[in-house]
Chains A and B, each alone.
Chain A
Amino acid sequence: DGGITQSPKYLFRKEGQNVTLSCEQNLNHDAMYWYRQDPGQGLRLIYYSQIVNDFQKGDIAEGYSVSREKKESFPLTVTSAQKNPTAFYLCASSTAGTGSNQPQHFGDGTRLSIL
């Protein structure tokens, strides 16, 4: 079945530690996204990538980093510089087209907590 796989489902971070969240898709989508979801707030965009080896900052990129070495994969690293990392992290993907839009499809998220 085609879809987006996020792992792990739950992750705990110690003070001063970097952690990496995995996102893999087999939908052959060009664009991939990372969002953060906090209670009572809409999804906030962290980073997005339209093609391999290229990515752009979203609205809340500080304290996060990404890479896009393969079309299928878009890992997110939460660095120690992110002072409030506890949240539900969602990865999404969509087809990409100039001047057109396709809706995003989401994985089932990773819940990150601080130890």
Chain B
Amino acid sequence: QKEVEQDPGPLSVPEGAIVSLNCTYSNSAFQYFMWYRQYSRKGPELLMYTYSSGNKEDGRFTAQVDKSSKYISLFIRDSQPSDSATYLCAMETGGFKTIFGAGTRLFVKA
């Protein structure tokens, strides 16, 4: 079993839809949770960074962490074609090793 599981998609939604992206994990020691956005042929770009459980909002993006369920989510409101990318979840215990999900490909249709 992988430490971090992420549905690869692809996920296709119409413009303006609310998008929900999710990851599950097995290591209860994870404390830091991140979401990265990766466009084709580019490096991942940090979108959200949260510590422990709870919600964090930044513009159209909301990150949720439920440590009791070992489940994290990224919500994108009013999705735009420019949001079409691969979204990677990532997490770590506080050391130097970050574990990444395989990524979910998102397509937002105009």
Knowing that A43-B88, A92-B43 touch, tell me 4 more A-B residue pairs with CB under 8 angstroms: A42-B4, A43-B100, A108-B41, A108-B42
Q: Are A42 and B44 in contact (CB under 8 A)?
A: no
Partner of B49, one of A92, A96, A103, A106: A103
Q: Are B94 and A50 in contact (CB under 8 A)?
A: no
Q: Are B43 and A45 in contact (CB under 8 A)?
A: no
Which chain B residues lie closer than 8 Å to A90 at the CB level? 43-44
Rounded to whole angstroms, the CA-CA distance of A31 and B98 in the bound complex is: 13
Q: Are B94 and A109 in contact (CB under 8 A)?
A: no
Q: Are B94 and A111 in contact (CB under 8 A)?
A: no
Task: Kindly list the 5 A-B residue pairs having the minimum CB-CB distance in the complex, ordered from nearest.
Answer: A106-B43, A42-B100, A43-B100, A108-B43, A42-B102
Rounded to whole angstroms, the CA-CA distance of A6 and B27 in the bound complex is: 32
Rounded to whole angstroms, the CA-CA distance of A109 and B39 in the bound complex is: 12
Q: A98-113 vs B: 1/0 string, CB under 8 Å?
A: 0111011111110100
- Say yes or no for A40: interface residue by CB 8 A criterion: yes
Q: Are A100 and B94 in contact (CB under 8 A)?
A: yes
Q: Given A103-B49, A105-B46, are A50 and B96 also a contact pair (CB < 8 Å)?
A: yes
Which chain A residues lie closer than 8 Å to B100 at the CB level? 35, 42-43
Q: Are B92 and A101 in contact (CB under 8 A)?
A: yes
19 contacts between A and B (CB under 8 A): A4-B43, A31-B96, A40-B8, A40-B102, A41-B102, A42-B6, A42-B88, A58-B97, A90-B43, A92-B43, A96-B96, A99-B94, A101-B31, A103-B34, A103-B90, A106-B45, A108-B41, A108-B43, A109-B41
